[in-house]
Amino acid sequence: MGRKRTCELPFCKGVVEGTRNKRRCDNDRNIHLHQVISKNVKKIMKYVEGCEDFTANDVNRDLFKSKLDKNEKGSMYRLFQAMVREGYLLERGKRGGLKVYACSPNSSEGSEEHVHAEHAAAPVVVERRLSPQEILLGKLREFVHQKSGQWNHDDWVWLLNRPDIKEYGLSESDIGRILEEEKARFWLQRNNY
């Protein structure tokens, strides 16, 4: 089956499974990314954010020097379709028989800030500090997602004995209540997709 890791898509919180050459995300069974595409998702995203519009052939020509085979191009197409579903990209008709894509206005605003921040001499980053409750909730939510909404007694005992969970001093029943709430939220989100 291969090792599990988090999805390469920044807008997706799923876990990727699969073989060395084909990978799929558990949140979207339709994404099968070949290794060359999955390793270059960030590079592809940076490229498309800088384009007014583009086709898959533009990305292949400019980033991969037209060396992608038909399977890898298909993998890139599926990546673009996932980005469209998530609202990251918009479809803008066809050019030369190929779909034309563009970044959605919401995603391009964030990317412009990102580009400006890279070129600034000393960017000022203002971060809101998370409260201890928010940090703990994030760790428990991560546990639920790593276990795909299902865990056994050994997983539960392991979680309770983690030093970074123990340090918050919550009782087992409080942790269990939070986990059940997050589990319900996890399955609600998964079933609505």
Dump pLDDT digits (tens) for 34-88.
777 777 888 888 888 888 888 888 888 888 888 888 888 888 887 887 788 777 8
- According to DSSP, residue 3 is labeled -
Tell which wins on pLDDT, 108 or 176. Answer: 176
pTM of the complete model beyond 0.75: no
Which of 24-33, 55-64, 107-116, 134-143 is predicted with the least confidence, judged by mean pLDDT? 107-116
Return the CA Rg of the chain.
Answer: 20
In this structure, of 3-7, 23-27, 86-90, 167-171, the range with the lowest mean pLDDT score is 23-27
Position 119 scores a pLDDT of 43
Q: From CA 48, how far away is CA 3, in angstroms rounded?
A: 29
- Which residues are CB-contacts of 163 (< 8 A; sequence separation ≥ 6)? none
| Mean pLDDT within 122-135 | 69
Q: Are 27 and 14 in contact (CB under 8 A)?
A: yes
126's enclosing H/E stretch is: none
The alpha carbon of residue 165 and the mean position of all alpha carbons in its chain are separated, in whole angstroms, by: 25
Residue 93 predicted with pLDDT over 60? yes
Instruction: Check pLDDT > 70 for residue 169.
Output: yes
Q: What is the C-alpha to C-alpha distance for residues 83 and 128, in angstroms, rounded to an integer? A: 29
Q: Are 34 and 21 in contact (CB under 8 A)?
A: yes
More confident residue, 20 or 152: 152
- pLDDT over 70 (residue 4): no
pLDDT greater than 80 at residue 159: yes
